[in-house]
Amino acid sequence: MSELEITVLPALSDNYFYLLKDTATGTTAVVDPPVVDDVLEQLGADGKLDLIIATHHHGDHTAGIEALKAKTGARVIGPAAEADKIPAIDEQLAEGDSVSVGEATARVFETPGHTAGHMSLYFEDSKALFCADTLFALGCGRLFEGTPAQMWDSLSKFSDLPDDTRVYCGHEYTLSNAQFAVTVDPENEELEQRLAQIEELRANDQPTIPSTLGEERRTNPFLRAADPAIRAHLGMESASDAEVFGEIRHRKDNA
Ligand SMILES: [Zn+2]
């Protein structure tokens, strides 16, 4: 049992990346670094970085990898399904594999949809999910390389994780996601309250990350395709969950 110290780091216009430290061993990892200097600064005097984790190949999550590896000697790990697009990758991961950051261990989920080989990591002891551009606070990633059915299947892989799992996603898109969410789930009071909280956080330039999986289950329409009120609102009472999800994604793309 080992709990990670997790630092949320903003980068570029709206990206988040994460520094993980296993306090028991001092092992450090970075998830999806788009930049270099901010990481080196966070590492402090000894500059020790053991692991660089890539969730998917997009440049706004991978641009810092090569230089960070060169400066620190960290090992680069990422999804086997897009290993040819991840810079300087040393180790390839697939569904069910595990990743160790010192004594903290994560389970690998293949979560295709946003990209064809996107992966997510779940650290059970820390109850922390790193899902990058698969699941956002109140949203989900755009389907650049996958189908709605594939993304629905990917999101469904998180359904066994506990409600108090913290969700560390790849972007600060929460306010626009919330403004869209109320259009498909207009009678959801908790969502209404969450929108107000998010407006206040963003007005003060505060991050909305991490949320919890429980909050997402209750308020994120992309996890709520089975919800009767949403289905009724969309006139899709007899459609499959994946079809309802696909309609919500389609509406968001055109919002
Ligand atoms: Zn992406």
How many Å is the Cα radius of gyration of the chain?
Answer: 18
Q: Decide: residue 245, CB within 10 A, 0-12 exposed, 13-18 middle, 19+ buried.
A: buried
pLDDT in tens, 14-66: 999 999 999 999 999 999 999 999 999 999 888 899 999 999 999 999 999 99
Calculate the alpha carbon distances from 108 to 118, 129, 146, 150, 224 in Å. Answer: 10, 10, 19, 17, 23
Rounded Cα distance, 150 and 223, in Å: 14
pLDDT (0 to 100) of residue 188: 98
Which DSSP category does 171 fall into?
B
**pLDDT tier, 238 (very low <50, low <70, confident <90, very high otherwise):** very high
233 carries an active-site annotation: no
pLDDT (0 to 100) of residue 1: 64
Q: Which of 38, 60, 90, 125 is catalytic?
A: 60
Rounded Cα distance, 220 and 213, in Å: 9
114 carries an active-site annotation: yes
Q: What is the Å distance from ligand 1's center to 182 Cα?
A: 24
For the chain, domains (ranges, CATH) are 4-253 (3.60.15.10)
pLDDT in tens, 134-155: 999 999 999 999 999 999 999 9
pLDDT (0 to 100) of residue 46: 83
